Amino acid sequence: MTANDAERRAMRHALELATHGPRGLNPQVGAVLLSPAGDVLAEGWHRGAGTAHAEVDALSKLAPGAARGATAVVTLEPCNHTGRTGPCSEALISAGVARVVYAADDPGAESSGGAERLRDAGVDVVSGVLADDAAALLHSWLEVQRLGRPFVTVKWAQSLDGRAAASDGTSQWITGPDARADVHRRRSRADAIVVGTGTLLADDPALTARTADGSRYDHQPMPVVLGVRPVPADAAVRRHPLALVQHDGRDLVALLADLRDRGVQRVFVEGGPTIAGAFLRAGLVDEILAYIAPTLLGGGMPALGDIGVQTIDDQLRLRVASVEHFGDDLLVVAAPRPSTGSGTGSTDSGTGKTHSGAAVPGGDD
What are the distances in angstroms from CA 328 to CA 68, 145, 291? 63, 38, 11
Residues 268-302 as b/e (b if ≥16 CB within 10 A, e otherwise) read bbbbbbbbbbbbbbbbbbbbbbbbbbeeebeebbb
Nearest to 268 by CA among 324, 345, 205, 187: 187
HSE-CB at 333 with a 13 A cutoff on CA atoms is 9
Report the distance separating Cα 281 and Cα 283, nearest Å. 6
| Helix H or strand E segment including 253 | helix 252-261
HSE-CB at 353 with a 13 A cutoff on CA atoms is 19
Instruction: Give the type of residue at 329.
Output: D
Can 324 be counted among the known catalytic residues?
no
DSSP lists the bridge partners of residue 90 as none
Residues in the chain, how many?
A: 365
Query: Which residue is catalytic, options 55, 77, 270, 287?
Result: 55
Task: Give the list of residues 6+ apart from residue 293 with CB closer than 8 angstroms, or none.
Answer: 157, 158, 159, 160, 174, 175, 176, 179, 328, 329
What are the distances in angstroms from CA 10 to CA 38, 72, 179? 9, 9, 40
Report the distance separating Cα 348 and Cα 358, nearest Å. 13
Answer for the pair 267, 150: CB distance below 8 angstroms, yes or no: yes
Task: Give the list of residues 6+ apart from residue 345 with CB closer than 8 angstroms, or none.
Answer: 253, 282, 283, 354, 355, 356, 357
Task: Name the residues annotated as catalytic.
Answer: 55
